[in-house]
């Protein structure tokens, strides 16, 4: 090879490597690219920490306001409906109280572009800002909320944009705008503006999610969105996506070895290796129509599952945790298994008898079932406390679905939550201190229903009842936490979130 040809090859290789490096640098994480919008004195940057699944942005710029903008933008091109969500926190005290971070949807990358932005200021002021026309004046809808650590959500549904915001741990409050036309094909992303051209500010974005929701044409229980298994750190309230699938994954149990999860998908049960991020089918023999009501015994040796028999009704079964041919537990159905007693002698379940759903218990070794609730209306999701004294469940008897508790013999049935939401599936932490449950919006679901693909919260409250804290904001519902999903040390939760769009930066099933 001549020196001239070698030089050309090396030059082309170096150019290609530089192109690869620039492309990677310009497209952090789930986004397509990044850019400084408008004339900024100091170039901004956006970086992605793959281990923490966290974004750090730095940027300058005079403002995002009036008839033009200056800021740093990390973006993705999108069409149709979407839900954008993140936790955003500035790094350091900062200089200007009106420095800004948040979500932004723009018609273009021009500085005077039409846009709609969900904005948190350095002062804690939160507002929905928008520019109706190219080069037009920016308008604003302010929230009463003021916080330095917020959850910011911006949703597009048709022509309506809705901003929802919450102090971390609290419920969303919302504002919307419906008369700003950005077109269908838009830029979507996170941004930072220092509000001072001589200053560079920094911010961290956790729990960054771009969700494509279910279309109006989706047929429930016949068509499904993709699923993500997420692991939530309760101390930081940050979660990591550890696995994705284009099919429906449901109800992750955290196994006693602290190394695996157990979930169901398309009639089968799977164990999920938390170190390798890989699933494997668990043999359940002739029980091949398993649903999302399965629970592991306190000693970690046995598994109660719910699987349809030849009649098509869900029945209760028991199988070794290592798999094998199941032993039938309930003679009639539907029966949905939910909890073992700590001594392993009883299993509690939701059973439909004479068109009435109630909580029952049955000996794990086999025997007649015993009805524990008799109030008219759906009683579901029963689960023992680790000390065996109580059974927690959810009931619609008060009008909305709420969390209840009773003694192990069914006596002293007491309501623990009493709010304007529908609360399902209470799970007691292994240390016996906390209850996790899922909350559906009253505006989206009927009290006796827990469907797929809704805006939901995961909340935690003291085991005896009391103020609840939101620990996760997500798009999910049915299958998100139908089963106990606490880690053995009570410091983490596993759950399922849903979307039509998967991102290759996270592990995806083949």
Of 284 and 12, more confident: 284
Torsion of CA 123, 124, 127, 131, to 10 degrees: 40
CB atoms within 10 A of CB 505: 16
- The predicted model gives 277-285 an average pLDDT of 97
**Cα separations (Å) of 19 from 26, 77, 343?**
10, 20, 62
Q: What's the whole-model pTM score?
A: 0.93
Name the strand (E) or helix (H) holding 47: strand 45-49
Q: pLDDT > 70: what percent of the chain? A: 95
pLDDT at residue 149, as a whole number: 82
315 contacts 349 by C-beta, under 8 angstroms: no
- The predicted model gives 316-341 an average pLDDT of 97
pLDDT at residue 111, as a whole number: 97
Please, is 98 exposed, middle or buried when counting C-beta atoms within 10 Å of its C-beta (0-12, 13-18, 19+)? middle
CB atoms within 10 A of CB 299: 12
Non-local (6+) Cβ contacts of 257 within 8 A are 300
Q: What is the DSSP letter of 389?
A: S
Dihedral sign, Cα of residue 330, residue 335, residue 336, residue 341: negative
- Please say if the pLDDT value at position 25 is more than 80: no
- Among residues 119, 127, 125, 126, which one has the least CA distance to residue 103? 119
pLDDT at residue 26, as a whole number: 81
- Please say if the pLDDT value at position 16 is more than 50: no
- Please say if the pLDDT value at position 379 is more than 50: yes
- Please say if the pLDDT value at position 13 is more than 90: no
pLDDT at residue 109, as a whole number: 98
- Among residues 391, 350, 357, 392, which one has the least CA distance to residue 374? 357
Give the tens place of pLDDT for each residue, 412-462. 999 999 999 999 999 999 999 999 999 999 999 999 999 999 999 999 999
Give the tens place of pLDDT for each residue, 329-339. 999 999 999 99
In this prediction, residue 27 has a pLDDT band, given cuts at 50, 70 and 90, of confident
Give the tens place of pLDDT for each residue, 449-490. 999 999 999 999 999 999 999 999 999 999 999 999 999 999
């Amino acid at each position: 090879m001549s020196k001239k040809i070698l030089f050309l090859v090396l030059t082309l290789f170096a150019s290609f490597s530089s192109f690869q490096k620039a492309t990677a640098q310009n497209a952090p994480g789930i986004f397509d690219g990044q850019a400084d919008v408008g004339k900024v004195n100091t170039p901004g940057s956006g970086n992605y920490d793959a281990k923490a699944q966290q974004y750090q942005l730095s940027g300058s710029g005079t403002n995002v306001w009036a008839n033009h903008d200056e800021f740093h933008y990390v973006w993705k091109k999108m069409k149709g409906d979407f839900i954008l969500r993140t936790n955003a926190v500035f790094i350091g005290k900062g200089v200007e109280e009106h420095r800004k971070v948040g979500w932004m949807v723009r018609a273009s990358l021009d500085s005077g572009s039409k846009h709609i932005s969900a904005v948190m200021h350095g002062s804690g002021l939160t507002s929905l800002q928008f520019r109706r026309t190219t080069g037009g004046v920016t308008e604003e809808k302010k929230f009463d909320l003021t916080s330095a650590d917020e959850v910011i959500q911006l949703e597009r549904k048709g022509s309506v944009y809705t901003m929802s915001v919450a102090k971390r741990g609290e419920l969303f409050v919302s504002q919307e705008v419906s008369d700003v036309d950005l077109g269908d094909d838009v830029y979507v992303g996170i941004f930072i503006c220092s509000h001072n051209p001589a200053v560079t500010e920094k911010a961290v974005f956790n729990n960054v999610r771009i969700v494509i929701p279910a279309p109006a044409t989706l047929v429930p229980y016949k068509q499904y969105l993709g699923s993500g298994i997420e692991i939530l750190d309760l101390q930081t309230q940050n979660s990591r996506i550890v696995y994705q699938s284009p099919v429906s994954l449901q109800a992750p149990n955290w196994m006693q070895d602290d190394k695996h999860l157990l979930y169901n998908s398309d009639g089968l049960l799977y164990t999920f290796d938390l170190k390798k991020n890989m699933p494997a089918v668990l043999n359940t023999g002739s029980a091949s129509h398993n649903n999302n009501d399965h629970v592991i015994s306190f000693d970690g040796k046995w598994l109660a599952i719910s699987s349809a028999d030849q009649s098509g009704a869900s029945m209760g079964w028991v199988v070794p945790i290592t798999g094998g041919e199941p032993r039938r537990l309930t003679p009639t159905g539907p029966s949905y298994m939910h909890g073992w007693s700590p001594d392993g002698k009883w299993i509690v379940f939701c059973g439909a008898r004479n068109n009435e759903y109630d909580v029952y218990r049955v000996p794990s070794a086999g025997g007649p079932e015993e009805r524990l609730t008799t109030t008219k209306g759906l009683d579901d999701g029963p689960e023992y406390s680790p000390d065996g004294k109580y059974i927690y469940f959810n009931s619609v008897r008060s009008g909305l679905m709420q969390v209840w508790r009773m003694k192990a013999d069914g006596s002293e049935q007491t309501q623990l939550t009493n709010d304007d939401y529908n609360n399902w599936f209470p799970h007691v932490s292994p240390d016996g201190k906390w209850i996790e449950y899922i909350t559906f919006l009253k505006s989206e679901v009927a009290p006796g229903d827990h469907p797929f693909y809704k805006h939901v919260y995961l909340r935690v409250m003291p085991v005896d009842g009391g103020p609840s804290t939101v620990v996760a904001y997500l798009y999910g519902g049915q299958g998100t936490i139908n089963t106990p999903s606490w880690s053995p040390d009570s410091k983490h939760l596993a759950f399922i979130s849903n979307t039509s769009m998967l991102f290759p930066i996270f592990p995806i099933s083949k």
